[in-house]
Amino acid sequence: MNQQLRAISELDRVIHEPGRLMIVALLSAFKECDFLYLLHETEMNKGNLSSHLARLEEAAYVEIQKTYRGKVPQTVLRLTSAGRKAFDGYRKGLKAAF
C-alpha cells in the first residue's frame, strides 16, 4: 500500500464521515453553539443531525447540554477537549495524505 493510501486509511473514521466532519468543523470554530444553528448550517434534517451528534457524543468528541432559554428548550453543543484533539489529528492526517 502506498504512503498516501496508508495515511487515508489511518484517518479517524468517526470524524471522516462527511456529515460528522461538517459538524466537527463547525463546532471547532466556536466555544459552543445551539442545535438550531447546526441544523441551519448543515442543512440536515433533525433526525440525521441528532444521529450524527449521538455518534460523536458516544466517541466523547461532543458534549450535549439540554437547557432552557426562558421557557424555550435549547440544546447547546460543544466540542470536548478530546474532540478538538481528534479533529486536529484528523486535519494533520489529511494533510499528510495529500
Query: Do 25 and 33 form a contact (C-beta atoms < 8 A)?
Result: no
Domain that holds residue 20: 3-97
Strands in 62-69's sheet, in edge-to-edge order, are 33-34, 72-79, 62-69
Q: pLDDT-derived band of residue 96, with 50, 70 and 90 as boundaries? A: confident
Task: Give per-residue pLDDT as tens, 43-92.
Answer: 999 999 999 999 999 999 999 999 999 999 999 999 999 999 999 999 99
Is the alpha carbon torsion for 11, 32, 65, 35 positive or negative?
Answer: negative
The CATH number of the domain where 57 resides is what? 1.10.10.10
Q: Which residues contact 24 (CB under 8 A, 6 or more apart)?
A: 15, 56, 61, 62, 79, 83, 86, 87, 90
Question: What predicted TM-score, i.e. pTM, was given to this entire model?
Answer: 0.90
Q: What is the count of structural domains for the chain?
A: 1
